[in-house]
Structures are given as C-alpha cells and as structure tokens.
Amino acid sequence: MKIDLENLTIKKAHEAMKNGGFSARELAQAYLNNIDKDLNAFIVVFDDVLEQADEADKRFKDGTAELLTGIPIAVKNNILIKGKKTTAGSKILENYKATYDATVIKRLKEKGVVFIGGTNLDEFAMGSSTENSAFGVTKNPHDKTRVPGGSSGGSAVAVASNYALVALGSETGGSIRQPASFCGVVGLKSTYGAVSRYGAAALGSSLDQISPLGKNIEDVEIVFDCIKGEDKMDSTSIPDKIYKEAEKDVNENKKIIGIPRHFLKEGIDKEVLENFENSVNKFKELGYKIKEIELPNIEYSLAIYYILMPSEASTNLARYDGMRFGFLKEGENLLGDYMKTKGEGFGKEVRRRIILGTYVLSAGYYDAYYNKAQVLRKMIRKEILKAFENVDAIITPTTPTPAFKIGERTKDPVQMYLADIFTVPANITNIPAISIPSGFVNMDGKELPLGLQIMTPHMQEKLLFKISREVLS
C-alpha cells in the first residue's frame, strides 16, 4: 500500500496507526524507501529503525500509544542518542557513539517515536550551507546545484524530501530558520531556555537552542510541546512556573505587526523584498495592523554575533582533546597529542572560529571586542523589548537571498556569514522566532522557496504559532 507522505501530518499518521490504516513499521519503511542518498541528508541512517517501529506498534496494540508514538523523526547529528554514532559533522567525532541520551531524546523516546537517522550538518553547527561537514555537502532538493542552508541542512532536507515526518535541529544564529527557508519547510527557534540543551554538542552556550522543523505549524508545535520544559541537567532551562506565567499574557486578539524597514534596505534580493511585500499584504487582508518600527542598533547584530559565538565556541571546543573520547592523533608528547588531534580532527571553519575566539578573548582585545559586544547585545535586547510594547510581533524575510550555489560563498567567510543577517537578532536577544514558507522565486528555471520570519516576545511561542497558522491558512 502507498502512504501519501507528502500530505501526512502527525495527527493523520496517528489516526492511521490507531485505526489500522497502516502500521508504524509500514510508515517507517515508507520513509526509508524514500531516502535519496544523492542528496546526502543523513550522516547515518539507523539500523534499528524497523525494530523501533515494532515497539511503537506494540504500544498501539496494548493501548499505551500516544500522539507521537511511531512518528518518524530525523535528528541533527549533534544531538546525542545513546549507542548511536553522533559525529557533530566532524572528523574528531567520526567514530563516537553517544554514551547517554540528550534530554530532548529522552522525552521523545518516552513517547515512542521512531528515530530514522542522524542528519548532516556543518561541523559543530558552524556554517550556513552544510558545506562545512566532514561528511560531504547536502544538496537542496529544489535544485541540486544549490545548498540546503545550514547548519541544520540535513534536517531541513529530510523534512522537505519526506525522509522523516519531522526533524530536530539546533540553532545558534539561524541554523534552523535559514535552512527551513531555503528548503521550503517550517523551522522554529524557541526562546533561549525553553528547551534543554543537555546532550547537544555545545557551540555558543549563551545562544544555543534545540528546536523542531516540520511541514506545518501543528507538527512543529506538537514536537516543541514534547521537548520543552525545565530540566535539572541544563541550568539555563526556564522553570515551568515562569513559562506558564508568561503564557498567561498571550492574548488571542494580538494583531499588530512591526516591520523594521530601515533594516531591510541593503543586500537583499529584489525578489525577496517583493515576496516579503506579498506577505505584508496577506497580514493586512487578515486584519492585522502594520506598524513601522525602529531598532537603532539591530544592524550590528551580526558583528556582535561573530564576536560572541567564536568566543564561546573556542571555550566549548577545548574539550575535544583526544583523551577521553573521539579522534586521537598522537604527537611526540602530550602537547603534540593536543596539537595534532585538533589540527587534523577539526575542519577549516572550526579552526578559523577557535582562532578568532581566542583572539577576541585575549588580553588587550577583550574590552574592545568581547565586552563591547556584550554591552551592545544588551542594548539591542532593550530596543527589541521596547518595540514589543507597541507591536505584538515583528516580521522580516528569513534570509536576504534564496538558496545560493554550492561553492559560491566558501572562499569568503564574511559573505557566508551574511546569510544569517536577519536570523541572528533573535538569537542574541533570546526571543523565539519562526520561519514559514512564503512562496517561490524562479532562478535559472528552478523554483526556489523563500521564507518569512516572525518573532514574538520571550516565551510567547503560542502567539508565534497562532500568527503563523493564520498567515499560512
């Protein structure tokens, strides 16, 4: 029997598995059969997918199945699943098998989901194109000569191409929303602290968040509701009582959208702006009020990000020392072991960011770069909070261009970094943001997806989902 994967949702799949339309095993098999290796979305497809599905089928038989039971999920390969190869896209973890489950994985396992595999990513989530993976580039399903975005490129392709129903990604500066936009799917970046990062390979700890990608808002919301919540293993996770309190403020009648037009002037494709105006008109038709807002320092977000993130990365990645886990290349002495292990184990972009982070944190430069960036980060946060006193949500295009060609930006790091110009502000201010499909643009005879970004105040994902649902309706 043929399952219509293209139009499947979590609720539809659940109903079908409950009513005998198809089994979890048949569903998992349908996704496995669909995987096109040429796109290179997965670093590893798990060898026990059907066994996991059989366990889910048992739960449907004994009546303990829940909404997520048997739902096939792809997981970015920087999130630990016990016993499974977890590489973070790096040679330094090429043969590493996770020794414990990340909190998000533990929560999904309790529901009985089926993990399809670990998806490709830029090494340690450092990149905007998935070209920095030690396991080869992932290709965009809409045009195989183009990148899928990154760093969660494999997860975005897995959802867009029906290799899994939903996927987990991770964000530090747009790593879910940007590939979601390039691949035409929905990608969430939740409030910093909404989801525990315990068990995710750390990049920038003041920015990192795990969140879901899916084909529609409902699926993304279901997965988010499962993985979110306080976790004693991540001291930055927000206590449930604080979250509940904040959610009380969500007013169903919030209808004012802010647009920082001064931020949308430089470096944006004409087609992207036209597409954005179509979205603005859609909001108007739906009865939303549009207000122009000023965020005076938001244009510095990307520069701030490229100071803070490498600083945090250079610290976080010190742990890959060839002693306790991962790759070891021996030198003449202990120092030689470190030098060779990191020199050969880390790829180019990772080495670049560690060196950059080490520089901006070094004596004499710390105040001019790191401290200055911290102060500016706070200023921008205040500006955004002030803007939210007058508007309920802020919108921008997710990215300034559609997916670019493979190899086009690899020689110029700053050009690559500019792909995240609109997504980074939500990370440095810790607010939730989402990218939803907003149509297509024709480039070289191929239809390439574009995305609309919506941002709301801290802990207001519910409002984000509600607005997104209305715009997509």
Partner 1 sequence: MEIKDIENLAKLSRIELSDDEKKELLGEMDSILGFVEQIQKVETGENVSEAGDLVNVMRSDEDTHESGVFTDDILAEVPKVENGFVKVKKIL
Instruction: Give the interface with partner 1 as residue ranges (CB under 8 A).
Output: 96-97, 99-100, 232-233, 235, 297, 300, 303-304, 306-307, 314, 318, 321-328, 333-335, 337-340, 342-344, 346, 348, 351-352, 354-356, 358-359, 362, 368-369, 371-376, 378-379, 412-414, 417
Closer of 329 and 446 to partner 1 (Cβ): 329
Tell me the two tokens of residue 187.
């990608």
Q: What is the DSSP string of 1-52?
A: ----GGG--HHHHHHHHHTTSS-HHHHHHHHHHH--GGG--EEEE-TTHHHH
Closer of 413 and 439 to partner 1 (Cβ): 413
Closer of 339 and 472 to partner 1 (Cβ): 339
Check residue 113 and report its DSSP letter.
-
326: left (phi over 0), alpha (psi -120 to 50) or beta: left
Task: Compute how many other C-beta atoms are within 10 angstroms of the C-beta atom of residue 382.
Answer: 12
Residue 131 CB, shortest distance to partner 1, in Å, is 16
Q: What is the dihedral of CA 145, 28, 178, 290, to 10 degrees?
A: 130
Residue 310 CB, shortest distance to partner 1, in Å, is 9
Q: Is residue 70 within 8 Å of 83, Cβ to Cβ?
A: no
Residue 392 CB, shortest distance to partner 1, in Å, is 26
Closer of 227 and 304 to partner 1 (Cβ): 304
Residue 373 CB, shortest distance to partner 1, in Å, is 6
CA distances from 13 to 48, 68, 71, 275, 277 (A): 20, 9, 7, 33, 35
Catalytic residue selected from 23, 170, 175, 181: 175
Question: What length is written for the chain?
Answer: 473
Residue 405 CB, shortest distance to partner 1, in Å, is 21
Catalytic residue selected from 90, 133, 151, 311: 151
Q: What is the DSSP string of 166-211?
A: EEEEEESSSTTHHHHHHHT-EEEEPPTTSB--TTB--S-TTT-EEE
Residue 124 CB, shortest distance to partner 1, in Å, is 14
Closer of 60 and 338 to partner 1 (Cβ): 338
Distance CA(203)–CA(36), nearest Å, equals 30
Residue 382 CB, shortest distance to partner 1, in Å, is 10
**Position 368, amino acid:** A
Closer of 286 and 318 to partner 1 (Cβ): 318
For the question of residue 76 being annotated catalytic, the response is yes
Tokens 């977890």 correspond to what residue?
A: 86
Of 53, 78, 61, 143, the C-alpha closest to 350 is 78
For the question of residue 270 being annotated catalytic, the response is no
Residue 245 CB, shortest distance to partner 1, in Å, is 16
Closer of 343 and 407 to partner 1 (Cβ): 343
Q: Is residue 144 within 8 Å of 128, Cβ to Cβ?
A: no
Instruction: Please count the helices (runs of H) and the strands (runs of E) in the chain.
Output: 16, 11
For the question of residue 151 being annotated catalytic, the response is yes
Cis peptide before 438 (omega within 30 of 0): no
Tokens 């930055």 correspond to what residue?
A: 236
Q: Is residue 310 within 8 Å of 360, Cβ to Cβ?
A: yes
Burial category of 251 from C-beta neighbours within 10 Å (exposed 0-12, middle 13-18, buried 19 and up): exposed
Closer of 86 and 152 to partner 1 (Cβ): 86
Catalytic residue selected from 23, 76, 301, 342: 76
Active site residues: 76, 151, 175
